[in-house]
């Protein structure tokens, strides 16, 4: 390997500051949506960065400006450890993209996150256990659950296997006291004939909210149901966040109804059988008995279960799910789900497997919580369960869907599927996109990132603002990170759902989030503390770079002021496509581009003139498009940088 690495870096600009191929990296980020890199799917996380972009930034930061682009792309596509022993620190590790890509390039990763779940995910990604040992452990765990709790979901002898259970909630009108079945419409499922949708025994399956009878209708054109009375199929008593009492006309919110803890009724069961279409049938007494036996199981087996006994955080930026009347973590699950997951987590806790195996199992089971909780709904037209967080934040479906987590071969998010995902995550040969200089386009390539044990003791659950111990000062060669967005989405309120099951569920520090009363000063003062701590770690003459986006001027004001306080100047600015498939952030009008901000200590730089025309960027990234919201984020980034631009003071 030719060593083009920066020897010290002080006084010499890097490839990252001069020639970052942002168009090519952005095209790779876009192509990588079709790539398969299982390491990033072991557990759900919010706002993961595109791995190709992080790899590109790392490599560019590690090499001097005179590196030939062809050599850059050769290393990008190679399994060589091109950043061997470079020490890379990420202040906000999140889903771990930066550190995983760093480790794959041979670097030594370290980082912080206030969220213990993020730390567990990243540690797993960095030291995932041997997949053979993990498979054995997963089989044992499933075996235990099969004999112990799977019987709460089905009788073994049946030809039909339950897949989904449909539950309705019964709410009492606060005014007149009349109890009604909450519903948005009468439809449980329909054969939409959309591609990828499920086919069932009837075209349209509906229910009567008065007697809870399930009706199979043979035509999609039906508009009404005649049961206890005539009702429009598409009408319900819940619309626009309000329930309207059919008896007295009073409107109420979930908060007034405490819908989240209202009594529930089992309505229907969807089942599969080999060689048959799926069927949805009326729930029977024996189905109901099975689910009541879960309550007895919980009562009789309390000491064999590990179930969260904690309350939801009371101080929140988003009042859901408290506003649904849910105040305890355990209220987010059905009794059966508590039995299954309580048993699974206890089994893992008590097993003799190594820490990394237990961590991998914990993450697999935790990830399955996404599809096994009381807030899961149903995509009526596709016949699929809609997991929690598939729409922004917590939401409460009128008809809740409980998955049979032991279904052998169907269903999203069964325990088996989740375990398989984690086992696959330790695969070292993902299929990723690289740049082909010949065809001037991204091409797919299987890269074998040979296993190399990396120390993970530098990955800790703490605030980035916490100062490192003296043993860690001056030891980092590169700080690369993406701070939380300036958008009031508290990740910690989402991750709380999973964290409550962990051995160590509490945050390791104060999350960086703008305070609505003083957004700029609150964000910038905590961020500048984080930057100051990073600078204690960072060797002299080395780079600190981050990606960020916001079309709020306040956000960039906060960034600028944090850079000033920390004593940093901007030495380069680049537009980079981020992954727009990020769930929470993928709404129209939202940013699909980040700006990479590269910084150095002001003392290493001379002030320089900076001008960047946004339309040049728009032209340069063609055929990719930069929408208005992104252009405005980029403009603000440029403005922020103009008065803070520096050129590295070259030694010669």
Ligand X SMILES: C[S@@+](CC[C@H](N)C(=O)[O-])C[C@H]1O[C@@H](n2cnc3c(N)ncnc32)[C@H](O)[C@@H]1O
Residues at the contact surface with ligand X, assessed by CB under 6 A: 45, 47-49, 92, 94-98, 112-115, 118, 463-465, 482, 484, 491, 509-512
C-beta of 42 vs 463, nearer to ligand X: 463
User: Minimum distance between the CB of residue 235 and Zn ion, rounded to whole angstroms?
Assistant: 15
Q: For residues 148 and 487, which CB has a smaller minimum distance to ligand X in the complex?
A: 487
Whether the CB-CB separation of 448 and 429 falls below 8 Å is answered with yes
The closest residue (CB) to ligand X is 94
CB of 467 to ligand X, least distance (A): 13
Q: How far is the CB of 374 from Zn ion (least distance, A)?
A: 25
| Interaction residues for Zn ion, span 497-536 (CB under 5 A) | none
Find the binding residues for Zn ion in span 137-176 (CB under 5 A).
173, 175-176
Contact residues for 616 (Cβ-Cβ < 8 A; gap 6+): none
First to last CA, the chain: 28
Orientation angle between helical segments 335-350 and 355-368, nearest 10 degrees: 170
- Give which of Zn ion, ligand X, none residue 309 binds (C-beta under 5 to 8 Å, depending on kind): none
Q: Does the footprint of Zn ion cover residue 245 (CB under 5 A)? A: yes
Q: How far is the CB of 119 from ligand X (least distance, A)?
A: 9
Q: What's the CA gap between 205 and 269, in Å, rounded?
A: 11
Distance from C-alpha of 321 to C-alpha of 332, rounded to nearest angstrom: 9
CA distance 128 to 552: 39
CB of 323 to Zn ion, least distance (A): 21
Task: Specify the residue, 149 or 245, whose C-beta has the smaller distance to Zn ion.
Answer: 245
Out of Zn ion, ligand X, none, what residue 137 binds, judged by CB under 5 to 8 A for its kind, is none
Nearest to 128 by CA among 344, 392, 393, 359: 359
Which entry of Zn ion, ligand X, none binds 94, CB below 5 to 8 A by partner kind? ligand X
484 contact, one of Zn ion, ligand X, none, CB 5-8 Å limit per kind = ligand X
Closer to ligand X by Cβ: residue 237 or 633: 633
- Return d(Cα 362, Cα 344) in angstroms, integer: 9
When the beta carbons of 223 and 517 are compared against Zn ion, the nearer one is 223
Assess whether the previous peptide bond of 207 is cis (omega < 30° from 0): no
Count of beta carbons in the 10 Å neighbourhood of residue 424: 14
3-class secondary structure, 573: strand
Strands 87-90 and 108-113: parallel
Q: Which is nearer to ligand X, 151 or 317 (CB)?
A: 317
Residue 481 CB, nearest approach to ligand X (Å):
7
Q: Does 264 bind Zn ion (CB under 5 A)?
A: no
Q: Closest Cα partner for 579 from 31, 119, 91, 60?
A: 31
Please, what is the minimum distance in Å from the beta carbon of residue 96 to ligand X?
Answer: 6
Among the candidate windows 244-252, 405-413, 477-485, 619-627, which touches Zn ion by CB under 5 A?
Answer: 244-252
User: Structure tokens of 38?
Assistant: 């299982």
* 229 belongs to the binding site for Zn ion (CB under 5 A): no
User: Which one of Zn ion, ligand X, none interacts with residue 626, CB within 5 to 8 A by kind?
Assistant: none
Using CB under 5 A as the binding rule, the residues of this chain from 176 to 215 that contact Zn ion are 176, 208, 210-211, 213
Helix (H, G, I), strand (E, B) or coil at 162: strand
Binding mask 296-325 for Zn ion (x = CB under 5 A): ------------------------------
The two tokens of residue 431 are 């299929």
**Which of Zn ion, ligand X, none is residue 248 near (CB under 5 to 8 Å by kind)?**
Zn ion
Token output for 118: 């993020």
Interface characters, 465-504, with Zn ion (x: CB under 5 A)? ----------------------------------------
- Is residue 246 a contact residue for Zn ion (CB under 5 A)? no
Minimum distance from residue 170 beta carbon to Zn ion (Å): 14
Region label for 414, one of left (φ > 0), alpha (ψ between -120 and 50) or beta (otherwise): beta
- DSSP letter at 577 equals E
> Smallest distance, Å, CB 167 to Zn ion?
18
Closer CB to ligand X, 230 or 587, in the complex: 587
Residue 176 interacts with which of Zn ion, ligand X, none, CB < 5 to 8 Å by class? Zn ion
Considering CB distances under 5 to 8 angstroms, the limit depending on partner class, which of ligand X, Zn ion, none binds residue 537?
none
Q: Which residue's CB is nearer to ligand X, number 526 or number 572? A: 526
CB of 44 to ligand X, least distance (A): 11
For residue 152, the SS3 value is helix
Nearest approach in angstroms of CB 243 to Zn ion is 10
Shortest distance, CB of residue 513 to Zn ion, whole angstroms?
Answer: 40
Q: What is the DSSP letter of 207?
A: E
What's the token pair of residue 166? 């449909």
Q: Which does 441 bind (CB under 5 to 8 A by kind): Zn ion, ligand X, none?
A: none
Neighbours of 324 (CB within 10 A): 24
Least CB distance from residue 242 to Zn ion, whole Å? 13
Compute the Cα dihedral for 510, 511, 512, 518 and give only its sign.
Answer: negative
What is the side-by-side strand order in the sheet with 593-601? 459-461, 108-113, 87-90, 476-481, 538-548, 593-601, 568-577
What value does the CA radius of gyration of the chain take, rounded to a whole number of Å?
Answer: 27
When CB distances are held under 5 to 8 angstroms depending on the partner's kind, the choice from Zn ion, ligand X, none that residue 245 binds is: Zn ion
Matching residue, tokens 């916001």:
550
User: Which residues in 158-186 are b (16+ Cβ under 10 Å) and which e?
Assistant: eebbbbbbbbbbebbbeeeeeebbbbebb
Task: Please say whether the beta carbons of 115 and 499 come within 8 A.
Answer: yes
- Taking the least distance from each CB to ligand X, the nearer of 482 and 604 is 482
Among 228, 443, 444, 450, interactor with Zn ion by CB under 5 A: 228
Three-class SS string for 423-456?
A: HHCCCCCCEEEEEECCCCEEEEEECCCCCCCCCC
> Rounded distance, CA 247 to CA 644, Å?
65
Q: How far is the CB of 578 from ligand X (least distance, A)?
A: 9
Q: Does 227 bind Zn ion (CB under 5 A)?
A: yes
Residue 95 binding target from ligand X, Zn ion, none, CB below 5 to 8 Å by type: ligand X
Comparing CB distances to Zn ion, the nearer of 213 and 553 is 213
In the block, residue with structure tokens 């195996």? 357
Nearer to ligand X, 114 or 149 (CB): 114
Smaller CB distance to ligand X: residue 176 or 510?
510
Q: How far apart are CA 466 and CA 290, in angstroms?
A: 51
Q: Considering CB distances under 5 to 8 angstroms, the limit depending on partner class, which of Zn ion, ligand X, none binds residue 247?
A: Zn ion
Q: Residue 113's binding partner, choosing from Zn ion, ligand X, none, with beta-carbon cut-off 5 to 8 A by kind?
A: ligand X
Asked if 226 touches Zn ion (CB under 5 A), the answer is no
Whether the Cβ atoms of residue 572 and residue 541 lie closer than 8 Å to each other: no
Cis peptide before 414 (omega within 30 of 0): no
Rounded CA-CA distance 395/321 in Å is: 7
> Measured from the CB of residue 260, what is the shortest distance to ligand X in angstroms?
25
Residues that bind Zn ion (CB under 5 A): 173, 175-176, 208, 210-211, 213, 227-228, 245, 247-248, 250
């Amino acid at each position: 390997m030719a060593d083009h690495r920066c020897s010290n870096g002080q006084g010499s600009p890097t490839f990252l500051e001069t020639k970052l191929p942002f168009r090519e990296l952005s095209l790779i980020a876009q192509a990588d949506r079709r790539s398969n890199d299982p390491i990033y799917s072991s557990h759900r996380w919010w706002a993961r960065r595109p791995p190709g972009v992080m790899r590109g930034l790392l490599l560019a930061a590690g090499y001097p400006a005179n590196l030939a682009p062809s050599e850059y792309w050769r290393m990008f596509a190679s399994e060589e450890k091109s950043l061997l022993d470079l020490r890379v620190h990420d202040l906000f590790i999140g889903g771990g993209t930066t550190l995983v890509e760093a480790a794959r390039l041979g670097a030594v990763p370290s980082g912080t996150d206030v969220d213990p779940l993020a730390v567990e995910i990243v540690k797993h990604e960095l030291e995932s256990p041997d997949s053979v040992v993990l498979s054995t452990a997963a089989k044992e765990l499933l075996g235990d659950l099969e004999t112990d709790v799977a019987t709460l979901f089905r009788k073994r002898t049946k030809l039909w296997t339950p897949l989904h259970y449909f539950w309705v909630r019964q709410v009492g009108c606060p005014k007149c006291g009349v109890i009604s079945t909450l519903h948005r419409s009468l439809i449980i499922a329909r054969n939409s004939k959309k591609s990828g949708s499920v086919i069932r025994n009837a075209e349209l399956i509906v229910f009567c909210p008065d007697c809870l009878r399930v009706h199979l209708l043979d035509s999609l054109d039906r508009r009404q149901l005649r049961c206890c009375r005539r009702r429009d199929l598409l009408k319900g008593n819940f619309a626009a966040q309000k329930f309207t009492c059919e008896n007295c006309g009073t409107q109420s919110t979930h908060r007034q109804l405490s819908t989240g803890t209202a009594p529930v009724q089992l309505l229907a069961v969807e089942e599969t059988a080999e060689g048959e279409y799926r069927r949805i049938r009326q729930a029977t007494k024996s189905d109901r008995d099975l689910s009541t036996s879960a309550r007895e199981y919980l009562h009789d087996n309390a000491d064999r279960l590990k179930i969260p006994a904690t309350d939801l955080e009371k101080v929140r930026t988003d009042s859901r799910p408290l506003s649904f009347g849910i105040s305890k973590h355990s209220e987010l699950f059905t009794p059966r789900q508590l039995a299954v997951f309580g048993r699974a987590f206890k089994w893992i806790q008590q097993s003799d497997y190594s820490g990394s195996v237990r961590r991998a199992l914990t993450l697999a089971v935790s990830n399955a919580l996404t599809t096994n909780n009381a807030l899961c709904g149903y995509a009526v037209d596709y016949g699929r369960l809609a997991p929690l967080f598939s729409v922004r934040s917590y939401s409460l479906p009128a008809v809740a869907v409980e998955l049979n987590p032991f279904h052998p071969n169907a269903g999203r998010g069964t325990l088996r599927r989740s375990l398989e995902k984690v086992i696959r995550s330790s695969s070292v040969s993902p299929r990723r996109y690289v740049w082909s200089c010949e065809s001037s386009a991204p091409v797919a390539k299987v890269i074998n990132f040979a296993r190399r044990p990396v120390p993970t003791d530098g990955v800790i659950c703490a605030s980035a603002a916490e100062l490192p111990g003296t043993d860690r000062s001056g030891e980092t060669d590169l700080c690369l990170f993406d701070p939380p967005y300036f958008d009031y989405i508290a990740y910690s309120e989402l991750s709380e759902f999973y964290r409550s099951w962990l051995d160590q569920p509490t945050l390791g520090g104060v999350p960086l989030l703008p305070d609505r009363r003083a957004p700029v000063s609150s964000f910038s003062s905590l961020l500048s503390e984080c930057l100051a701590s990073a600078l204690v770690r960072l060797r002299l003459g080395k780079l600190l770079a981050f990606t960020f986006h916001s079309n709020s001027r306040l956000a960039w004001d906060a960034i600028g002021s944090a850079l000033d306080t920390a004593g940093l100047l901007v030495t380069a600015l680049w537009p980079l496509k981020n992954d727009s498939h990020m769930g929470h952030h993928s709404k129209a009008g939202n940013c699909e581009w980040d700006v990479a901000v590269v910084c150095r200590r002001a003392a290493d730089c001379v002030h320089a003139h900076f001008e960047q025309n946004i339309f040049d960027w728009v032209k340069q990234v063609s055929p990719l498009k930069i929408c208005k919201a992104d252009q405005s984020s980029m403009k603000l980034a440029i403005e922020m940088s103009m008065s803070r631009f520096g050129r590295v003071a070259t030694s010669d």
